[in-house]
Amino acid sequence: MWKAVEVDAWIAGRRSSLEEARATVTDIIRRVGSDGDTALRQLSRHVELREIAVTDEERRAAYDAVDAKIVESLTRAKERIERFHQLQRSRDLWMEEVEPGIVLGMKT
């Protein structure tokens, strides 16, 4: 759970965490770029899902911490992506106006 922290210590911690994360991500990208799926399978063995689990309380707190307009925009984007995918799966040729002035379409 999130706890109150001293701002200066938090910023310093974020800097070192960011540097560590950047090094880790760079290594992952390099490994996947050179070894492809083999690297992904190896990397996935090292992920502890318990470590990245998010509680309902943490999820609610995160939603509350984000501007409502951003949540609304992300929700709309999710809905559009899902709708596009459903249309994509159902026909070989289609066009549909999903909102006034926004037309999605695809020919396979």
**In this structure, are 47 and 70 located in the same domain?**
no
Let me know whether 78 and 55 are in one domain.
Answer: no
Work out the pLDDT band at 1, boundaries 50, 70, 90. Answer: very low
pLDDT at 49 over 80: no
- Number of domains present in the structure of the chain: 2
Tell me the β-bridge partners of 103. 97
- Most distant CA pair in the chain, distance: 57
Q: Assess whether 81 and 51 both reside in one domain.
A: no
Query: Smallest Cα–Cα separation from 98: which of 76, 70, 75, 66?
Result: 76
44 shares a domain with 1: yes
Pair 21, 36 in one domain: yes
- Give the domain extent around 91: 66-108
Is the same domain home to 3 and 55?
Answer: yes
Q: How many residues does the chain have?
A: 108
- What pLDDT, on a 0 to 100 scale, did the predictor assign at position 23? 87
Q: What is the mean pLDDT of the chain?
A: 81
Report how far Cα 44 is from the mean position of its chain's Cα atoms: 17
Q: What percent of the chain has pLDDT over 70?
A: 78
Question: Residue 39 is encoded by which pair of tokens?
Answer: 């690297």
Same structural domain, 24 and 56: yes
Contacts of 29 (CB under 8 A, 6+ apart): none
- Regarding whether 56 and 44 lie in a shared domain, the answer is yes
